[in-house]
A and B are shown apart, each in its own frame.
Chain A
Amino acid sequence: MTTTIQQSGNQMIALFSGRLDTAAAIPTAEAVKPLMEAENKEIILDCSQLEYISSSGLRIFLSIRKEAATLGSKVIVRSINADIRQVFVMTGFISLFEIQ
């Protein structure tokens, strides 16, 4: 599981690659810290290479989402696969995020 953050203009793009399970959640939480401090940015969570997500990963997503709201940023989840979409549906996350 790798997390890469790119910044271009007003956008901050986090590229998640691999399986975001409970074990991977700890380093991922660390890696996404810059997103928590971004003010008035468009934060894009690129899930095109994310294979799997568990509740630990969802918690990170929710944290980013909550933090963004307080800092005037907007969070967009991009390119989720069917499995992850299914999880998003089950957890109601599908309505918490803007999914592209």
Chain B
Amino acid sequence: MLVAALFLETTACIQYICSRAAIEREVALRAKTELRSAELEINVLTSEMEAAAKMLSTMAETNLDNPEAMYASTRILLQTLDHVESAGIAFIPNYYPQYGRWFEVCSSRSDSVEGGIFTRQIGGAHHDYLQSEWFGNGLTIDSAWWCEPYLDDAGAKTMVVSCSYPIKDREGNVVAVTCIDLSLNRLSHISQYLQVYKDSYYSIQSSTGMDIVARPDTIPGRRYKLFVEEIDATGWHISIIIPEDILFAELRRLGLLITILMLVGLGLLIFIMVRAGKNLKSLIIVNSQKERIESELEIAQTIQSAMLPKVFPPFLDRLDLNIYGMVKPAKEIGGDLYDFYVRHDKLFFCLGDVSGKGVPAALVMATVRSLFRSVTSHEEDAAVIMQQINDSLGENNEQNMFVTLFLGVLDLKSGQLHYCNAGHNAPILNQTALPVKANLPIGVDMGHVFEAQSAKMQPNDVIFLYTDGLTEAENVRHELFGEQRMMDILTSVFGMRPRLLVSTMQNAVESFVDGAQQSDDLTMLAIRFEKPAIVMRNDIQQIPTLAEWIDGMNIPMELNMPINLALEEAVTNVMLYAYPGRTDGKVFVECVQCNGVKGEQLIFTISDSGVPFDPTQAPEVDTSLSAEERAIGGLGIHLVRQLMDEITYERIDNMNVLTLVKYLANPQND
């Protein structure tokens, strides 16, 4: 902006200086021209006067004998030449003795006499022309001679300048001087040339500097331009004096106008730039705010996504579960949630949809997720959990936001599922919607009593939970994905692992909406109950967990101890012999119930990655021996053989796999 201002100002200055120079040149030229014209005019005038003086002189010379003729001569001259103010012929003292010492005949213009010309003799003591400069010089200079301006008190009675010329007798002696007075008023006529500007001045000065045409006094402090021309014939100086302020008034006006225009322009420029700057500033502020919000949303998104389990498989030690879940928010952050974790061999899981979207929904989502975790940490009853979450949420629910939520507690030992549905879409168990009670969504009614339900999950059963972001996914033609498509996909992926199920569903939705903007959060969670299983560390102290695990399975009471004992012996064997002297390593125990050739049977698989160890190769213990004969060890595998119906060992993929089978239909008790 400063550069623009400087540029403009420099332009203005250059323009001013150039204009001023141009004006000065123009004025000088004009003054010169006018001065020349004036000089010419003056020259014409003075030549005329000089000619007149000469002529009068000649006339006087021819009439020297007749002094009376002088009167007529001067009179004729005045009548002939308008410019002449007065004309006189002055004689040397006592030339005509009869007239005495002074004799000067003079005709001058006067309005008070007939014909306008007053002719008389004016010499005398009162008008001693003999002392006059013009007379003295007229006698001695043999040519026309101009005297300094003076007040002609006798003849013209005004300021005059005179041209004198000698009159000689026949012998060549100067006897008289003619004097032609030029009234200075007459010279004023030439002002038409010299008045260059309205307020400019001019002056005509004699060779000695006396004013012939005077100029007004100059004003101190005012600057003037002076142009002078000397007239060769008379030695006069003509001056044109122009006050600079007048000379440059126009330029100054123009300069002022330009300056004003420039200032206005500059002001406008500044205004525009300031406005632009402000706009830019506010744009920068808006941008930085936007960036801040975006980065905060990004952080919020990270925090929110960190709340949801997203590492799959989530439980490396659980062979009984296979879970996969995903959430795809419509905005940066969403109001959908899912969560799950295992406590005491129970899988607590939930999936919900907060009313609304964006930040408010995300905050409620975070609250619900926290409540889910805190309430399930001490409570296992699905209805009670739901009730407590509802009551806690209702306490501070000023925004009247509500959440549809499905909550399940899956007993991993038995496959027993307890669940409570608060107004959410019924999950799909395998290929059928789970029956759900009409509970209110949470956050609607504090103190609402929720009803829980139960279902049995068999090994390999899959429960699929989703939010309406799936069924209500819209394509560009505003068609909904719908439940039918969802069910079709579920049928097509039946038997597949949860990860494949969810990704297949997601791909199906994405190809359905075909690029249409996602309008709602999309969340899916698939849980497959693989089979009852337990993973134990290679540590004898883990043995009691085996009993808990078996207690959790709904196996016939009378089989509890035999199975427990057989498994304990088998597992202890692994810990002692497959992992000798080690504490790392794991022992996996799985249970599958199936219908074999010998009817219903429970198949237990105990596997480990320890050194190859086949317990079935252990020698039989002779139970008939006396106490003294009996060895201390070897009872474990004996018990397993006794307690189970089938026992097989395999080494598969560097793992010891011991399979124990117990028939349910015909339990062997002895």
Contacts and interface: CB of A to CB of B under 8 A. Distances in A.
A4 interface: no
Contact of B561 (A52, A63, A92, A95): A52
User: Is chain B's interface secondary structure helix, strand, loop, or mixed overall?
Assistant: helix
B52 to A, nearest CB: 160
A23 B635 contact: no
Given A23-B541, A55-B639, A59-B632, A92 B624 contact: yes
B632 A54 contact: no
Interface string B544-572: 10010000000000000110110011001
B623 A23 contact: no
B636 A55 contact: yes
Contact of B627 (A56, A59, A96): A96
A23 B543 contact: yes
Residue of A22, A58, A87 ringed by the most chain B CB atoms within 10 A:
A22
Contact of B568 (A21, A83, A91): A21
Interface string A86-99: 11011110011000
Interface in A42-94: 52, 54-56, 58-59, 62-63, 65-66, 69, 83, 86-87, 89-92
A26 B565 CA distance: 17
Contacts of A52: 547, 561, 564-565
A96 B627 CA distance: 6
A62 B632 contact: yes
B131 interface: no
A19 interface: yes
Contacts of A83: 561
Interface string B509-550: 000000000000000000000000000000011111001000
B181 to A, nearest CB: 157
Contacts of A96: 626-627, 630
Nearest to A92: B623
B638 interface: yes
Interface in B617-669: 621, 623-628, 630, 632-633, 635-636, 638-639, 642-643, 669
A91 B639 contact: yes
Interface in A1-46: 19, 21-23, 26
Interface residues of A, number: 25
B632 A63 contact: yes
Contacts of B669: 86
Contacts of B624: 92, 95
A55 B635 contact: yes
B581 to A, nearest CB: 16
A87 B565 contact: yes
A26 B576 CA distance: 14
B232 interface: no
Report the interface size class on chain B: 20 to 34
Nearest to A84: B561
Given A23-B543, A58-B635, A66 B572 contact: no
Contacts of B199: none
A59 B635 CA distance: 8
B395 interface: no
B111 interface: no
A69 B565 contact: no
Nearest to B624: A92
Contact of A21 (B543, B562, B632): B543
B584 interface: no
Contacts of B565: 52, 54, 87
Contact of B639 (A63, A65, A66, A90): A90
Contacts of A21: 543-544, 547, 568
B627 A65 contact: yes
Contacts of B568: 21-22, 54
B400 to A, nearest CB: 54
21 contacts: A19-B544, A22-B572, A23-B540, A26-B540, A52-B547, A52-B564, A52-B565, A54-B568, A55-B569, A55-B635, A55-B636, A58-B635, A59-B635, A63-B632, A69-B628, A86-B670, A90-B623, A90-B638, A91-B623, A96-B627, A96-B630
Interface of B: 540-544, 547, 561-562, 564-565, 568-569, 572, 621, 623-628, 630, 632-633, 635-636, 638-639, 642-643, 669-670
Given A19-B547, A54-B636, 18 more contacts: A23-B543, A23-B544, A52-B561, A54-B568, A54-B639, A55-B572, A55-B636, A55-B638, A59-B635, A62-B630, A62-B632, A65-B627, A66-B628, A89-B670, A90-B643, A90-B670, A91-B621, A96-B626
Interface of A: 19, 21-23, 26, 52, 54-56, 58-59, 62-63, 65-66, 69, 83, 86-87, 89-92, 95-96
